[in-house]
Structure 1
């Protein structure tokens, strides 16, 4: 695990940041030593303060980072529950808390409403998992620094479900934001997408118009489609409309805090080519840009909720939208198929 945990994180120079991380570390060490948090430490943690970086918030963000690292190594929420009991949590409740930390928004609401996210539960889980993983002091320091920087990113963007601001460090980008693009790109007119080795692309046509493109790599595909933004056409609004429509069709749909913000994860009833009834898994990503919205629908092996396949997210975040507002009547941004390579 050390090779993962000791990845480079942003440098933080403020003395206050070092002090906050130091106090967070003291609280974790106190719990590991005494199995409890002293009243004075609980007060100094400022766990209920979320508009500035506090020791309590750093422990929260650090636990989330550690849960994600374990998940990337193949451990589900249930598998991550420590063998050592957590004083403030049953094993079932601990599973719910860890599932919420992985991004399940409905579970987030449940654990919040039940009051399961407390300083004691967060520090208890974090300190016990650090002990189980036998992390060194240096590894813990790196995790805490990453947790602190995550808190600062959230304060900068104002959105805890999307801690990185689109158009600054990551995409999807507007054509005006993209700067100089590398050579490994496919220009589709309304979209410019990455072209990793082995990628296949398939058009979705409506007569002579190309409305979307499906990018296929291995056993996973993502369909990319861009729309002009109009009144009421934000990703949040469309996401809720899609959720209601899919549920009306008999699907099971959840909102999930994923790599690019809030996404939908759905299980939809379908009829196969042979006429049999089956269930299809979908992940639906979305992002608002300047006067446009990009949607991505992930299918195949990467659509599973526990899939570690990251390339569809990377494809989505590295897509450039080139909006054409000449046809104001059409909500979709049509694409152009690239000419054959010479």
Structure 2
């Protein structure tokens, strides 16, 4: 058996997710439609790990970004199954244009079949060989694997990043960053951390994934709660995967009783990391990358007791021992 890197990928080769994405692309290009087997293989609705669907999404983003560098932001030919306006919206959103994301989400444009339609059109327009497509998918897979948030036990996590050790969370730090620990109203324990830079803040909390709890179920519950309390919540796909763009009710005089937030989330091995972004970085048109870099650079340390039913992963002050 060939040596690997622990992610199902032979050294110097493509991993399981990349190979499955390769098979999905080949089947779609050959047949012009997705078979049920390819749909199942892609796992397009799974975000807790690197899946073929994520590899395909990143591959499209890579090609679009390269075209954008050349000054080409529109396709030179129609995309089968997509009208011109929908194709432009998809491309703008995949290039992380915040102004396009809400309408793309409302129309539910970024689906697996549309993504394959777009990728196939890009392959044809760029005259990419089979070898070039394989190289693209391998690079996309590598990019997916290099992104957190991280479990403390993950050997792939970067070691050259300065982290502040808060017990259950290790968070990226930098000069000028303000850090505030949050206490639980119930028992006074440290329940989360807020990091602030300029006029943007991100609040981080980690939870055990008990039962069938996942970021998808937490996200749906949060959206329902926000709407039931007079706010709004819209799901979108951001740099860290599915997130909520929301407006929540807060205490304050009329006109100042609402706050715009972005809610990020990630499923790890046995845990869920959640991040509430507020301030300028939460606005719908914000292109600020710092909250996402902080979220994706965070390391989660599971408590030692595997039988605990406490959902919250507690923190500690940095100068205390484990």
TM-score, scaled relative to structure 2: 0.65
Q: Secondary structure at the match of 2:237?
A: strand
Larger radius of gyration: 1
- Matches of residues 95-110 of structure 1 in structure 2 within 5 Å? 95-99=88-92, 101=94, 104=101, 106-107=105-106, 109-110=108-109
CA shift for structure 1 position 238:
1.0
SS of alignment partner, residue 183 of structure 2: strand
Name the structure 2 match of 1:288: 267
Q: Distance in 2 between matches of 1:323 and 1:210?
A: 15
Residue pairs, 1:1-342, within 5 angstroms: 46-48=31-33, 50=38, 63-67=60-64, 80=73, 86=78, 90-99=83-92, 101=94, 104=101, 106-107=105-106, 109-110=108-109, 119=117, 123=121, 127=125, 147-149=136-138, 153=141, 164-165=144-145, 169-177=146-154, 181-182=159-160, 184-206=162-184, 208-272=188-252, 274-277=253-256, 279-326=258-305, 328-339=308-319
Q: Is the 8 A contact 1:172 1:317 kept in 2?
A: yes
Q: CA RMSD in A?
A: 4.8
SS in 1 for 2:154: coil
Change (3 A) 1:254 1:212: same
Mapped partners of 1:180, 1:99: distance in 2? 30
Secondary structure in 1 matching 2:211 = coil
State the secondary structure of the residue aligned to 2:108. Answer: helix
Aligned equivalents of 1:59 and 1:237: distance in 2?
A: 24
Q: Any stretches of 5+ residues in structure 2 without a counterpart? A: 1-10, 43-54
Tell me the distance in 1 between the aligned counterparts of 2:131 and 2:257: 45
TM-score (norm 1): 0.61
2: distance between equivalents of 1:224 and 1:106?
Answer: 25
Preserved contact between residue 179 and residue 193 of structure 2 (Cα < 8 Å): yes
Cα separation, partners in 2 of 1:308 and 1:290, compared to 1, 3 Å: same
Length, aligned pairs only:
277
**Cα gap change, 1:270 to 1:91, in 2 (>3 Å):** farther
Alpha-carbon distance change, 324 to 12 in structure 1, aligned in 2, over 3 angstroms = closer
C-alpha change, 1:94 and 1:180, in structure 2 (3 Å) is closer
Change (3 A) 1:94 1:225: same
Distance 1:72 1:255 in 2: 29
Q: Alignment partner of 1:164: what SS?
A: helix
Alpha carbons of structure 1 residues 118 and 176: separation in structure 2 relative to 1, 3 Å: closer
Conserved in 2, the CA contact under 8 Å of 1:202 and 1:215? yes
Post-superposition offset of 1:231: 0.7
Kindly state the Cα deviation for residue 328 of structure 1 after the two structures are TM-superposed. 2.4
* Residue pair 2:79, 2:117 contacting (<8 A) in 1 also: no
